[in-house]
Structures are given as C-alpha cells and as structure tokens.
C-alpha cells in the first residue's frame, strides 16, 4: 500500500526507527538495489531482509519493481521529504499558555 506523502502515519516513524531498516534506507538513498545485493552487503538472511522491506513498503517509504527474476527497491524520496517536513513543523510550533499546539 502506497500512502501519499502528506498522509504518512506514525508507521513511517516506527519503520525507520529500527536500526536495520534505517541502514536499508541509507543504502537505498544512494541507489536502487536488488534484494540479492542487500542480502550480500548487509549479511542478513533473505527472509529477514524481506520482512524489513515489507515494513518499509507498507509504511509508504519504498517502491519496488520486478525485472525478470529480480526485485529492485528504491526510496520514495518524496515520502522522506514529507516525513521531514512533518517533523520540522513540530519543531517550529510555538505554544503559549492556554493556547493549543499545532
């Protein structure tokens, strides 16, 4: 399920909070990669890597494409940008006494 960037949920934050998933995202920020490359480079079992990729996909942070027998993944950079914008808006929110926050 792909979510529009403006509707990213807390699932996106939970997804990238895991150190393994964060490392996957760091690698995919540089280039689109095949599952076999991620398995080899990260030293993870293919089943564990597939689980992490599914969590990131379900959170709307990754796209995948099939090419013959291989599945390639890339970041949805607009989703990461939207997530960053949402976090930035929290940091910029100014609340006063008796005044609701953003």
Q: What pLDDT band is residue 91 in, cutting at 50, 70 and 90?
A: confident
Average pLDDT of span 68-72: 92
Q: What is the CATH number of domain 9-79?
A: 1.10.10.10
pLDDT digits (tens, 9 = 90+) for 11-67: 888 999 999 999 999 999 999 999 999 999 999 999 999 999 999 999 999 999 999
Longest dimension (CA), the chain: 60
Domain boundaries along the sequence of the chain: 9-79
Q: How many residues does the chain have?
A: 102
Cβ atoms of residues 32 and 71 within 8 Å: no
Which of the 8 DSSP states describes residue 70? E
Which of the 8 DSSP states describes residue 66? E
């Amino acid at each position: 399920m792909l979510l529009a960037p403006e509707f990213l949920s807390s699932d996106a934050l939970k997804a990238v909070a895991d150190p393994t998933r964060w490392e996957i995202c760091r690698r995919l920020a540089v280039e689109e990669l095949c599952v076999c490359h991620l398995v080899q480079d990260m030293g993870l079992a293919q089943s564990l890597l597939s689980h992490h990729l599914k969590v990131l996909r379900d959170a709307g942070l990754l796209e995948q494409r099939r090419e013959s027998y291989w599945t390639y993944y890339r970041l949805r950079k607009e989703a990461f940008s939207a997530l960053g914008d949402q976090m930035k808006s929290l940091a910029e929110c100014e609340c006063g006494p008796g005044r609701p926050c953003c």
